[in-house]
Each structure stands twice: as structure tokens, then as C-alpha cells.
Structure 1
Amino acid sequence: MPERTTPDQYSTWVGLIYVFNLIVGTGALTLPAAFNRAGWALGLCVILILAFISFVTVTFVIETMASANAILTWQRIQDRKKVSGESGLSHSDSEDTPLVSPVANSPDRASTSCRYYMINEKIEMGEMASIFFNKLGTTLFYICLAVYLYGDLSIYGAAIGKSMADVACTYQPANLTCNDTIPDDVLCWEGSTVNRLVAYRIFLTIFIIALGPFVFFNVQKTKYLQVMTSMMRWMAFAIMITYAARTLIISGPQNSPPAVNILASSIAANGFGGMHSLKTVVQGQSMSVHILPALQDNFMYLIVDDSTKEAAVVDPVNSTLVASTVEENKFNLTKILTTHHHWDHAGGNESMSKKFKDIQIYGGDNRVEAVNKIVAHGDSFNIGSLKVQCLGTPCHTTGHICYLVSGEDDDPPSVFTGDTLFAGGCGRFFEGTAAQMCRALGDVLGSLPDKTKVFCGHEYTCQNLKFGLSVEPSNENIKNKLEWATTQRKNQAPTVPSTIEDEKKTNPFMRVHEASIMEHTATTDPVDTMASLRKEKDNF
């Protein structure tokens, strides 16, 4: 098609830029993470399908615009005929009737009829809807468009506000290297009273104000905005590719991504009823623990005294699943044990308090949602005949509490460690130091009986063990456990519980006093070793 430019028409190159922005959105920048989770082969297949769908969509839009141009051209010709009294084209709706019949010696009709489908005019989507649809169809079109635009703007508003806050907020808690998991109540700038949530709201307001002219004042000439957007996206792609290439050249390939991972965790899978792991029951002599998966990789635990059926739940972020499990088994749920205040652990407390009246909600500080029982290290209480001892483990958060639950003497105790101790790893030092984590893992949890069962807050085992193997390549205990954990995850089975004995053999963060770990980190003090390991793990 030859390029035709008029003062009221965008050029072909601007059209290509517009189409590029339609197909390649900011979501494409998340492709590396998606490939990593889904597997390179599955990710490639999905992206090819999406590319084909995008092609079909753009082709449909172009054909619709061409058809609208042709109809308007035909209508104008008919109007001219009526004014001039010219006879001719039938008004038949038959498909055999040509849209525009050729007339000999007419310069306007010297070419074939396909020239009427050239996109010579800009036609708004609303006008095209009125051309193709009746009144009901046009109304439905506007409703669909409003819903789409509202959702699109909501996503962009949230993403842009969050990104700007992450870039602008320079204060980070000690030993933290990742923006994604900094709590909203952390200060944005050191010495200021503005926290990250307030900063997000400020940037969201700025975004809405900047968007105002395009929404309320009919600003349509966005040629330079489209060009700038394309340049920014290309720059983002270039930086991402350059950084990835640099990492590959300097550090070499890291791990071996699977070809296909159908069980990859995702918001879609977990948000609409899917679970990252199967529900499991661990049965002891006097107590049972129901392992309940939640969110992308969280665990909730329903602790039951078998003799009385009294129960307590640890970190019930999914109150619906907890309530249904309690109802199905006729348990008497009396307590909530919250390890720390982060949303993915305490976010279901308020909902639980409405479902279960007079329930006691335990936590280490007032930041825990709906807490009504503040506990500290050494405090104790009962779940039926089971004894619960509170273990203060500040570091991940200052108020982090682990719960040690004991039954009969011959029944090994169980400890619920939240985000302090994971199978093969430990939590980030959001509000603490390496020395605090050394005390939590070595002096507090490390002093528990070796047979103590460890129920942690997240399904991180395989990744943690891969890191452990990079620290101690010759550790056979890690190799064996990683092989077992990989099989468990392929079967969608959880890798909890672990044991204190097992962690002392396979968890580098509980082995900071070992010569092999110190040699790896080039340190001689366990606290320095802990700090070095955590920094290395943050970038693993």
C-alpha cells in the first residue's frame, strides 16, 4: 500500500510505532521471570501463542478500520448521487452487489474496488461501533470499553506508583537488598516521617493528575507520546538484555531451568482455587498437624490436640480454607499463632476473628493484625493438653515469634518457625542483624532436641538446597535431600516438616561455625559468616 499523508493523517511509521506499543507492553519485561518459573520450552510455546494472538488482533483491527473507511466512502458516493440525481447503485443488501460499482471513464473509479478499503481517514472506535452495531450493540461496546480502560488504568496506576516509590525511596532496613519485600510501613527516606505506603500514594496521585488532560480534555494528538513510549520500552529491553548478557559472561550460567514446569506457582493458579502443594496431615502420638498451602508458596498449619479436638492455627492468611478444614473435621479452634506481622502471615487474622468469635490471636507485637494476646520469649500456654512455648527470634522482624508445641513425653516436639528458619535456609534480615540470626538459629532453635519437627512458613526447600550445594559442593546430606525434595515437588507434595538434626546437616545458615562454610565465605567469625552467606543468598 503506498504511503499517503495528509495534514489530518498519521504517517505509516507512526502507525507502526502505535502497533508496536499495542503488541509489546510493559508486561513483556517480566518474561525472564515467567520463563524461569514455567520452563524455557513451555515459556517459548506460550509466547509464540501470544504473538500469534497479537497478530490476529492487530490484523482484525486494521481490517475493521479498512471496512469502516470503505463504508463511509460508499455512503458519500451515494449521497453525491442523490444530490446530483445520478441513478445507479442498487440498495440491495445482497453480497453479490458490489460495494461501489465501477463507472466507465470516471477518474474516481479507475482503479479496482479494493482502493476503497485504503485507510485514508482516522475513525474513532465509538464511531466504528455505531457503523457496525445497532443501538444495543453500541451500548454494550461502550460498557466493555469502560471496563477495559478502568482495569488497564488501575493496573498501570498501581504498577507505576509502586515502581516510582521503589526508585525514590532510598532507605532500606539493614542487610536488605531486595525492594520487593520491604514492608509498606518502613520509612521512605531516613529521618523522614513518610513511609513507603504514603510515598506510593503520592506517586499514584501524581500519575492520576498527569493522566487528567488525556481523560478530561480530549487530548488526542499523542504522536510524540507514542514515540517516547517506544523509546523507553526499547531502552528497558536493551538494559535488561545487556545486564543478562553481562551476568552470563562474568558469572556463567546459573542452575539449569527446566524445559516444562506445569506446577509453576502463579497468582492465576493459586488465586482461583489452585494450590502449590497438596494438603497433608502429619500424625504424632498426641497431636496432628494439618499442612494447608496458601498463596504462592506459604504454609498454614492447623495444630490439633487429638484427645480434646481443640485446635490452633499458625499464620492463617487464607481464612476460607482454614474455616472449611475446621468445619469438616469438627475441630474446636480457639487460638491463632501468628509468627510475625507481614501480610502473608497475619493478613487473615481479621477475617478469622469474624468467623470464630472470641478466638485468641497471639503475636509478638502490635503490628500483628487483630492481635489480642502479645507474647514474648519464654511465655507459654496450652492447646488442650498440648503445651506451647514462645521463642523470641527477632531479625526477620523485631517481633518474630516461633512456637514450640509439645505433647506426650515420647512424642517429638514440633516448632513452627515462620520466616526465621526454612528448610535449608533462613529469612531475610529485614529488621535485624546477622548476630541476631546467629542467636536465633544457633542458641534458640539450635538448642532444641534433634528430633524436633520443623514446620516453616514457605516452600523454599529446593532453591535453598541448591544454594547450600553451591556453598558445600561435597556435602552428601544436601545432595540426598535435594534429590528427595525434587521428587516431592514433582508430586506436588510439601517438603515439610524437616527436623533440627536435618537442618544442622544441610542448612548452611545453621552451619556457620563449620570450617567448610567459613572457608567458602573467607571469614573466621560465625557472625561474619552469617552476614556473608545472607548477602550471597540474596543474589543467588
Structure 2
Amino acid sequence: MLRVESVSALNDNYIWIVSGDGDQSRVLVVDPGEAQPVNEWLNKHGATISALLLTHHHPDHTAAAVELAGTGRTPIYGPGAEGIRGVNHPLHGGEQITLDGFPGIDVIPVPGHTKGHVAYYVDGCLFSGDALFAGGCGRLFEGSAEQMHESLQRLATLPDSTLLYCGHEYTVKNLEFAHRVEPDNQQIAKRLEQMRALRGKSQPTLPSSLGEEKQSNPFLRTHEASVVESAERWAGGKLTTKTEVFATLRHWKDRG
């Protein structure tokens, strides 16, 4: 079993530090937007970095990668098409990364938020960056609604037990929107109450499970009649495809 710990950074980012079973001396660092909290964690645990995993090019996920890699040969994995400084192992999706002391890491292409966005799946853990969030999904900055919908459906094929580690603490706001979409969904209402309680204690809401997301994340529920009907009411007309439902939900959320 992997051990995954969160490091809070910037405004609401999470940097994920991943160690192998019982061994915290060598770690993976996912989406380091800031160096100081990572270095503090490394010093506290006497650990060194085996590799850095970047999901996409936005600075709040990449800014500290080169500094953390230092002058050695620390691998920096990231989307090859996004021109990220320091990436020496470019990825396109479909690869499997092999590193000593860790299970194989599957690289999943998830364009939409950015054109080259990738996610990492290892030992039942999904590091989704800004593609899939707890209760929501990323904005469409570079890709299309069709791309993002396909990306999320690709992630939805993973086991329900998959633990979701995304890039931001957005869960409460996402679930508030989900509750507007499905006001009669008791799973959403219960989860929203639980997540508000956690945030009230300044505790993280992550990880969630993919099974939870399928029950309460509207962007994974574009096939559900209750979601379709709600999206059609907001759009003021018939929506004939799941992609149209997804695009409507994304526009709705973007407009607040």
C-alpha cells in the first residue's frame, strides 16, 4: 500500500507526497506549486525525492519542480506537449512509469482543462490534477466540452474504490453546486454536510472515492435523468447528448 500525505500550498492547492509501503525515505511529489512546504516535509521526514509528477502546465502545479529537482538527475514527468520547464520525461498518456520502490504508474490522458493534461493512477490512487475534482471538474481553459467529458468518462472506468487526490480544496463549493443540480439527491446533501464539518475544523476533504463521485458529482452523472432534467431547465431547451448536458453544467457553474 502507498502512503499519501497532503501538503497545503498557495491559496487552496494540495501537493501530494507519495511514499512506498513502510518506506518514507524516497517519495514522489505530485504537482509542486511551491517549494517551501515540500522542503519542510522532506526535512522533517529525512526523505528525498525519487521523481516529480506534473499533471499540467499551470504554475500553481509546476512552479517549484525545477527547484525541488535540484542539480541531480531527479526525473520530472509531465505532459510533453505543454512546454513545462524542467520536464525531462515527457508524457502523452498511455505510458506506464516504472520507479524503484513503487508500483507501476499508469499515465491517463485527460485533456479539457488544458490540452495536454494527464492523470496518474497507481495502486488504487488517482492523482487527477485539475481534471476531476471532489464534487466537480476543472474549467475548460484550452480544451472542449467534448474532450473534458470524454476524459471524465475515461476516469469513471476505474474501480469505485479508487481514491481521488485532486489539486485543490474546492469540495464544498462543488457540492453546493451539485446540490443545486440535484436538490433531492440525499447522497449529495449528506456529503455536503460532512464536508462542511471537516472544513469547519480546517481539515482536508480529500481523498474521496470514485464511487462517491459517481453518486454525487454531477459531471460524472450526465446520464442520470435528474441531472439531464435540471440541465435542460437551466438551458431552457432539450439537450440530446451527454456532452451537451456536460457543457450546460459547466456553463451553469461558470456563471455562478
Partner in structure 2 of residue 527 of structure 1:
243
Deviations 1:404-436 (A, max 9, x none): 011xxxxxx000000000000000111111111
Is structure 2 residue 145 aligned with structure 1 residue 434?
Answer: yes
- Distance in 1 separating the partners of 2:74 and 2:52: 7
Offset, 1:321: 1.2
The residue identity in structure 2 corresponding to 1:337 is: L
* Structure with more strand by fraction: 2
Offset, 1:375: 1.1
Deviations 1:216-245 (A, max 9, x none): xxxxxxxxxxxxxxxxxxxxxxxxxxxxxx
- Distance in 2 separating the partners of 1:342 and 1:369: 11
Is structure 2 residue 215 aligned with structure 1 residue 505?
Answer: yes
Partner in structure 2 of residue 419 of structure 1:
130
1:334/1:360 contact within 8 Å kept: yes
Offset, 1:308: 4.6
For the pair shown, which has the larger CA radius of gyration, 1 or 2? 1
Residue of 13, 16, 20 corresponding to 1:301: 16
Partner in structure 2 of residue 4 of structure 1:
none
Deviations 1:437-493 (A, max 9, x none): 111111x10000000000010000000000000000000010001000000001000
- Distance in 1 separating the partners of 2:48 and 2:8: 21
Give the SS at the match of 2:98.
strand
Partner in structure 2 of residue 539 of structure 1:
255
Partner in structure 2 of residue 50 of structure 1:
none
Offset, 1:297: 0.5
Give the SS at the match of 1:386.
coil
Is structure 2 residue 82 aligned with structure 1 residue 371?
Answer: no
Superposed counterparts of 1:439-450, under 5 Å? 439-442=150-153, 444-450=154-160
Partner in structure 2 of residue 225 of structure 1:
none
Partner in structure 2 of residue 20 of structure 1:
none
- Distance in 2 separating the partners of 1:391 and 1:451: 18
Residue of 105, 108, 120 corresponding to 1:391: 108
Give the SS at the match of 1:448.
coil
Is structure 2 residue 33 aligned with structure 1 residue 317?
Answer: yes
* Structure with more helix by fraction: 1
Partner in structure 2 of residue 466 of structure 1:
176
The residue identity in structure 1 corresponding to 2:108 is: L
- Distance in 2 separating the partners of 1:327 and 1:421: 31
Superposed counterparts of 1:38-49, under 5 Å? none
- TM superposition score normalised by structure 1: 0.45
User: Structure 1 stretches (4+) deviating beyond 3 angstroms?
Assistant: none
Give the SS at the match of 1:344.
helix
- Distance in 2 separating the partners of 1:388 and 1:351: 23
2:34/2:60 contact within 8 Å kept: no
- Distance in 2 separating the partners of 1:301 and 1:415: 11
Change (3 A) 1:324 1:357: farther
- Distance in 2 separating the partners of 1:318 and 1:431: 24
Q: Could you say which structure has the greater relative contact order, defined with CA pairs below 8 angstroms and 6 or more residues apart?
A: 2
Partner in structure 1 of residue 205 of structure 2:
495
Could you tell me which runs of 5 or more consecutive residues in structure 1 were left unpaired when the two chains were aligned.
1-285, 407-412
- Distance in 2 separating the partners of 1:538 and 1:298: 20
The residue identity in structure 1 corresponding to 2:14 is: F
Partner in structure 1 of residue 57 of structure 2:
341
1:518/1:524 contact within 8 Å kept: no
Deviations 1:248-285 (A, max 9, x none): xxxxxxxxxxxxxxxxxxxxxxxxxxxxxxxxxxxxxx
- Distance in 2 separating the partners of 1:393 and 1:511: 17
Offset, 1:327: 2.2
The residue identity in structure 2 corresponding to 1:472 is: E
Offset, 1:331: 2.2
The residue identity in structure 2 corresponding to 1:401 is: V
Partner in structure 1 of residue 235 of structure 2:
none
When the two structures are aligned, how many residues end up with a matched partner?
A: 247
2:94/2:107 contact within 8 Å kept: yes
- Distance in 2 separating the partners of 1:475 and 1:353: 45
The residue identity in structure 1 corresponding to 2:28 is: A
Deviations 1:75-123 (A, max 9, x none): xxxxxxxxxxxxxxxxxxxxxxxxxxxxxxxxxxxxxxxxxxxxxxxxx
Is structure 2 residue 5 aligned with structure 1 residue 290?
Answer: yes
- Distance in 2 separating the partners of 1:482 and 1:399: 32
1:340/1:397 contact within 8 Å kept: yes
The residue identity in structure 2 corresponding to 1:321 is: P
- Distance in 2 separating the partners of 1:290 and 1:364: 23
Could you tell me which runs of 5 or more consecutive residues in structure 2 were left unpaired when the two chains were aligned.
233-238
Deviations 1:166-207 (A, max 9, x none): xxxxxxxxxxxxxxxxxxxxxxxxxxxxxxxxxxxxxxxxxx
- Distance in 1 separating the partners of 2:155 and 2:74: 28
Offset, 1:347: 1.0
